[in-house]
Amino acid sequence: MIKFRTTLMSGLIGLFVLTGCGGGEDGATAGGGEVSEAAPVKKVKLQMASAFPSSLPILGVGGVEWTEKVDRLSGGTLEIKFFEPNALVPGLEAIPAASKGSVEMAWASSGYYAGINNVFSMFTTLPFGPNATEFLAWYYYGDGSKFADELYGAQNIKYIPCHMIPPEASGWFKKEINTLDDLKGLKMRFFGLGAKVMEKLGVSTQLLAGGEIFQALQLGTIDATEFAMPSIDEGIGLFQVAKHYYFPGWHQPASFNGAFINIDVWNNLSKQHQAVIEVSCGDNIRDGLALGDFSQPAAIARMVEKGVKVHYWKPEFLEAFKTAWDEVAAEEMAVNPDFKRVYENYMTFREEFSIWRDNGYIR
């Protein structure tokens, strides 16, 4: 905790120096009657491959707005250029490309790196896991960031959580789901560890980038899909081809997205520019959560007017999802030491946190 706060304070002090605050009009520092000029900051330009198109509400727009914050905070000395999916690399290849150094950085979700190691899904979300504030507590004041630094560092990446959204929806279906048997045989786009849960229930899952989902659902390549929250799902038109919309998003109760920076690129940045990135990402997390909750009521209302039927999973479905998730977690721990370390650490934190969660929040 002390280390985190010290690092943040150092970053803020660096920002004052970088933007010319704390001294005279020219950023000078006064002391003992002497005035010294701060060293000029070298301008840096970075290219960022995005997994989300800039037109995508919240997720893509949030990435573009973040680059603008970086520009303002750095006084124009750090420029991050946002590249659409497929402009440099396919969206789902953005993080691997940053790891290899073929792009300098990526704007994506950690779960898109699960093909390398399923433990990376945990730095986006966990089925039946924490809400936003509990997730932030574990990541920043528990051991989450320590694990992320270790595991991503081994992949030549500096991972910085840079965006966060509230709960997602559970999925879009062309037909109403009345029994667990109705899930069997469905072809469904599904993200992260939740996909393994759905497979336990007989669903055939695949991971598609956001820009590919509408066409796949329209053409029948998939029968159902989950993607994000209502305002984002509305933005890619899923309500036009499926009318049954299910909640709650048990598989993503809160989700981090982030900046994935090639480790050599990160290490070569000045302390001030590193601080600009870290502080602006913290502000972006605040904005993602606030806008995320604000945008959903109107989006749901608009889609209901267009014929969408909103469903809340019956208790037997949620029980089946939870049972399947417990099986998936146990299986992952048995074969993946990294997953076991991180998941057990998180579960210990969650058990200790429960005295506050159960007493501090209205149930």
Mean pLDDT, residues 257-282: 98
> Chain-wide mean pLDDT for the chain?
91
What was the pLDDT predicted at 35? 43
Q: CATH homologous superfamily of domain 171-252+308-360? A: Periplasmic binding protein-like II (3.40.190.10)
What was the pLDDT predicted at 114? 94
User: One-letter amino acid identity for 49?
Assistant: A
Query: Is it true that 2-27+39-167+254-294 and 171-252+308-360 share their CATH fold?
Result: yes
Q: Which residues contact 24 (CB under 8 A, 6 or more apart)?
A: 30, 35
Indicate the SS3 state at residue 46. Answer: strand
What beta strand segments (E) does the chain contain?
Answer: 29-31, 34-36, 44-50, 78-83, 105-108, 157-165, 171-173, 187-189, 204-206, 224-225, 244-247, 255-262, 309-312
Give how far the C-alpha of residue 270 lies from the chain's centroid of Cα atoms, to the nearest Å. 25
- Asked whether the beta carbons of 232 and 211 are under 8 A apart, the reply is no
Q: Band of the pLDDT at 37, cuts 50, 70, 90?
A: low
The string of pLDDT tens digits covering residues 140-195 is: 999 999 999 999 999 999 999 999 999 999 999 999 999 999 999 999 999 999 99
Pairing of strands 224-225, 244-247: unpaired
What was the pLDDT predicted at 39? 63
Residue 293 predicted with pLDDT over 90 = yes
What was the pLDDT predicted at 19? 45
| Domain boundaries along the sequence of the chain | 2-27+39-167+254-294, 171-252+308-360
Helix axes of 315-335 and 192-200: crossing angle, nearest 10 degrees: 110
Q: Which fold has domain 2-27+39-167+254-294?
A: D-Maltodextrin-Binding Protein; domain 2 (3.40.190)
The string of pLDDT tens digits covering residues 7-19 is: 444 444 444 444 4
In the chain, % of residues over pLDDT 70: 89
Q: What is the pTM of this model?
A: 0.88
Q: Band of the pLDDT at 215, cuts 50, 70, 90?
A: very high
The string of pLDDT tens digits covering residues 246-268 is: 999 999 999 999 999 999 999 99
Q: Band of the pLDDT at 38, cuts 50, 70, 90?
A: low
What was the pLDDT predicted at 41? 73
